[in-house]
């Protein structure tokens, strides 16, 4: 199932704001299909103590994510609905 896309491209700041609001984000420039990022805020059951960003990969895995310079400077970030 392909997610619905909200086409309002923006910067990494836009993407972070949207993740903080509980939404998933992605980049138009990514090679893989159906990849997205989300923010995880730990609760009292979590082993993590600070929020972190994770990615759903093209092969449906969930992994921690670090921003590349290309991602940092991109202006094609969008929200998945």
Which residue, among 2, 1, 5, 15, has the nearest Cα to 65 in the 3D structure?
Answer: 15
Using one digit for the tens of pLDDT, what is the confidence trace for 5-37?
A: 666 689 999 999 999 999 999 999 998 889 999
Alpha-carbon distance of 33 to 3, in angstroms, equals 10
28-37, 45-54, 69-78: least confident range: 28-37
Alpha-carbon distance of 79 to 48, in angstroms, equals 25
Check: pTM over 0.95? Answer yes or no: no
* pLDDT, mean of residues 28-56: 94
pLDDT at 1 over 60: no
């Amino acid at each position: 199932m392909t997610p619905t896309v909200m086409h309002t491209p923006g910067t990494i700041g836009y993407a972070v704001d949207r993740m903080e609001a509980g939404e998933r984000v992605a980049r138009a420039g990514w090679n893989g299909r159906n990849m997205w990022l989300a923010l995880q805020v730990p609760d009292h059951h979590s082993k993590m103590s600070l929020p972190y960003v994770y990615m759903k990969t093209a092969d449906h895995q969930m992994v921690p994510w670090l921003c590349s310079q290309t991602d940092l400077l991109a202006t094609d970030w969008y929200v998945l609905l």
